[in-house]
Structure 1
């Protein structure tokens, strides 16, 4: 019995490892499509359903896909009505895997592993190596199935085990609950299906017992999503409740229909593993189709159960960063970019505000600008920590570059904030404290320089927000003009000193430092633009 147990655990470990590798390969190959999908979500129910299927196929886990949806709703990226159709589709994405493992191709597992490893090792192009990773993962899935199937073979002659399965067949509710518990522990309904099909390949379970196991695995996949909803926003809590209710109602309906499902599925194939895979598909697809026409009404029902309270946005805290998305780099980058745009808005306001203080001597704005710099510093630290939490071991070269690109942009924005708070503000305070009055020409030059720098910063941020390389290139090209403008303004100021203009003489130090700091701010705008065009 010990070796049977070790074989089951070892086979399950290989199966789960294969799913992980396959998931990494699929995310690296198709992950860039996820961001496009999210940015073009439609209210069309069928498109939403298809989106859920695609996300689960890419991530290779309906639980992870559902948890990701909770994260996206929690950060405000998606609305509840958009999410419900996608949520129904996430479960359907697992049916393809179940159909594949029902084929008795485990004898070719080692061949698939060799092909995958060879492609991963020798592939010249990144996409070839990613496909190698997918094949390697599929090979391990089939190898895990083979190990599990062969390890349970001795149980055919084990009287106690056979009696236990017979008793479970007569108490289907107990089988359902046991399956739900197992799925909650291993956090994979697909793995539960793999184990069930392995038992079926050895003739150890019947279709009558397999159906409550399928229903239990469907229900058990809710546990991780429920945990993801703890401490989340009310909108995210509605998604976790929707996920639970969708599956709970579906399980109850199909549990009551079990005798009819058995009659229908037995006609679909004479092969028991295939019957189980077909039953799984029927239950999952049927569950989705029951609720799909009523997603809008269901959303209103959830809003009544969990009413919305007024939530005040706290700028100091991250709004979009969610650890639930870290397993999907493309989505994590998308959320980090949204958070970076919050920083950029604060930086823009700082750059605009400091000139208002300079021209109007409005000291009340100084505290606001310093407070905004603290916000920029805090959010910068949080974004940096978030990005560095993404595992570099599983990142593709392209994803690794994206991490560094975003970190560079965060660093540049933080430096702009520091230049304003630690360099520009002291100069403005000096102007106010010493009642310095600039010449009309001097004020005009500083305002002109500031406007050029501010416009270039806005264009750099806009280029990042829109991923517009043409706009970014304009920022890069404009650097030379601003550099030359700074030199020109220095010369004109020195000319005023030479002709003995008293106001220019009294403000000379502040004047020259101001235009120098404005130039340094533009250097960081230039750096942001370079990151957008991929030069960093």
Structure 2
């Protein structure tokens, strides 16, 4: 803890006690206040995540190729989530999915730094006098409100109240330090930019919360312990320390995750190094833009002005950095690729490992559901490939193609298991009505796609093996009819996957519009097979039976694809 570092300055506890200063009481107040502060911050963050709901997803879907709009989206998303780390995880998912390039992601990561300063602005208000009123009002809304949205608002008020209450306790605990010379002498050392930078970085890396570091800096400023330049250097250090969280988040993740985290580190470190020599100029600009209290003098004036100035400096620093470096977004992306090159042997993630599912986002249901959708899209592409491959395999009796189909089904089964397990964990969270509906659609779509894979692998492949044992092969006419039917079925599966992956009713509507053509193709195949039965010998009848099975399984696959389409067209017949 920043202030605990002052403890060594007390050469003798007995001297402090003789001056009426109790380390025990102070530390109890500091630890207790910090616990309430962090608890309130956690409650505020969780409530903001829940209240953001589907708006988070729609906000992210508005990402464009414009890096400036990407920065704006990154700032808004982080302000809603109160977590730049969550935003970075989402960015990694979008880059992995090909929705945005690594270069485009730089703008979002830069914007996330701006959004993360909202917490400091909230803390700087320090309305600790009304803290318990906010706690009471928030608790009442959580307990008695019937509408889910109002309960989320109650959680926000409760979180704010606990933040301010914890700050008040820490502030009161630190009052005796005003008259404790060893501590005041130690704080003078914070005027050194390098010491302030180091302390801020180490403390943030230790507790993995730049918001908590900034909050403690603001509390110390409110007591007049540190000047604005010292507060700025501590906040700059927090910007470097928070990179540790981003790097830890990449452990066990794909290469693109490490590159995105590297961009985060490069941007933050470059920004800090740029401003380290201009701390006084940044402080002067902040003073000009912040409220001043000329009627106060000395430590009282410093205590009144510094908290808001530090919060404003933190925001100003991140905003200016974004405008300065956003033009260099492609450079940051290329540098990250140079620093984190392809690892041909070490970076090969097994194909059966989920690519997008991240348990850290389970507490943000809107984001978690979006990751599930992306993973189902990946599963769906395996199903599409299976559907495409099975007909050539049947035509050629190609064992290699049959093995390819079976391999893909193994991948589908494993991905399906991971998706269902992830959804099971997500289902234990508090979901809004819209999120619960999306949860149902995605779980049904995953199950149905897995069933399509089973029909192809367990039934059509088996049919192919049986045909291979016969001396006869399907004639040209029935091959043409089945080929036409397969083309319809392949298109239907592709549309079903697109409907799920894009959360779009248009592909579903197009799929449902194919029913007439598919029914005609099925009837044509059946009529041809029935007409051949009269003049068939035993071997020909066995082949006809297998042709019937192929036709029936294609029809079954189309029916399963329709089931998915109806999920996104609930009023269709």
> Does the pair score TM above 0.5?
yes
**Structure 2 equivalent of residue 435 of structure 1:** 471
**Structure 1 equivalent of residue 164 of structure 2:** 142
Aligned-partner Cα distance in 1 for 2:418–2:210: 34
Q: Once the 2 structures are TM-superposed, how far is the Cα of residue 77 of structure 1 from its aligned partner?
A: 4.2
Quote the RMSD (CA, aligned, Å).
Answer: 3.4
The answer to whether residue 258 in structure 2 is matched with residue 237 in structure 1 is: yes
8 Å CA contact 1:14–1:143 kept in 2: the answer is yes
Q: Output one character per residue of 1:108-142: Cα deviation in whole Å (capped at 9) or x when no partner.
A: 22322333334344444443333333333323322
The answer to whether residue 121 in structure 2 is matched with residue 99 in structure 1 is: yes
Q: 1:373 to 1:159 in 2, by over 3 A?
A: same
8 Å CA contact 2:46–2:363 kept in 1: the answer is no
Q: Which deviates more, 178-187 or 437-446? A: 437-446
8 Å CA contact 2:59–2:77 kept in 1: the answer is no
**Structure 2 equivalent of residue 7 of structure 1:** 29
Q: 1:472 to 1:165 in 2, by over 3 A?
A: same
Q: 1:4 to 1:69 in 2, by over 3 A?
A: farther
Q: Once the 2 structures are TM-superposed, how far is the Cα of residue 430 of structure 1 from its aligned partner?
A: 0.9
Q: Once the 2 structures are TM-superposed, how far is the Cα of residue 317 of structure 1 from its aligned partner?
A: 4.0
Gapped regions of structure 1 (runs ≥ 5): none
Aligned-partner Cα distance in 1 for 2:357–2:86: 17
**Structure 2 residue corresponding to 1:464, chosen from 500, 520, 528:** 500
**Structure 1 residue corresponding to 2:228, chosen from 192, 203, 207:** 207
Aligned-partner Cα distance in 2 for 1:256–1:440: 80
Aligned-partner Cα distance in 1 for 2:88–2:473: 62
**Structure 1 equivalent of residue 84 of structure 2:** 62
The answer to whether residue 429 in structure 2 is matched with residue 393 in structure 1 is: yes
**Structure-to-structure mapping, 1:225-374, within 5 angstroms:** 225-230=246-251, 232-267=253-288, 268=290, 269-270=292-293, 271-308=305-342, 315-322=351-358, 325-374=361-410
**Structure-to-structure mapping, 1:50-199, within 5 angstroms:** 50-70=72-92, 72-73=94-95, 76-166=98-188, 168-199=189-220
The answer to whether residue 244 in structure 2 is matched with residue 223 in structure 1 is: yes
8 Å CA contact 1:41–1:82 kept in 2: the answer is no
Aligned-partner Cα distance in 2 for 1:467–1:59: 23
8 Å CA contact 2:37–2:162 kept in 1: the answer is yes
Q: What secondary structure sits across from 1:507 in the alignment?
A: helix
TM-score computed with the length of structure 2 as normaliser: 0.81
8 Å CA contact 2:286–2:312 kept in 1: the answer is yes
8 Å CA contact 2:71–2:108 kept in 1: the answer is yes
Q: Output one character per residue of 1:448-477: Cα deviation in whole Å (capped at 9) or x when no partner.
A: 554444343233223223323244255457
Equivalent pairs counted in the alignment come to 533
Q: 1:71 to 1:8 in 2, by over 3 A?
A: farther
Q: 1:454 to 1:3 in 2, by over 3 A?
A: same
In the TM superposition, structure 1's runs of 4+ consecutive aligned residues that sit over 6 Å from their partners are: 309-314, 477-492
**Structure 2 equivalent of residue 384 of structure 1:** 420
Q: Output one character per residue of 1:342-372: Cα deviation in whole Å (capped at 9) or x when no partner.
A: 3222222322332333333334321221122
Aligned-partner Cα distance in 1 for 2:498–2:85: 36
Gapped regions of structure 2 (runs ≥ 5): 1-22, 294-304
Q: 1:323 to 1:427 in 2, by over 3 A?
A: same
Q: 1:12 to 1:400 in 2, by over 3 A?
A: farther
**Structure-to-structure mapping, 1:412-427, within 5 angstroms:** 412-427=448-463
Q: 1:391 to 1:221 in 2, by over 3 A?
A: farther
Q: Which deviates more, 335-344 or 322-331? A: 322-331
Q: 1:442 to 1:169 in 2, by over 3 A?
A: closer
Q: Which deviates more, 267-276 or 502-511? A: 502-511
Aligned-partner Cα distance in 2 for 1:303–1:481: 49
8 Å CA contact 2:104–2:329 kept in 1: the answer is no
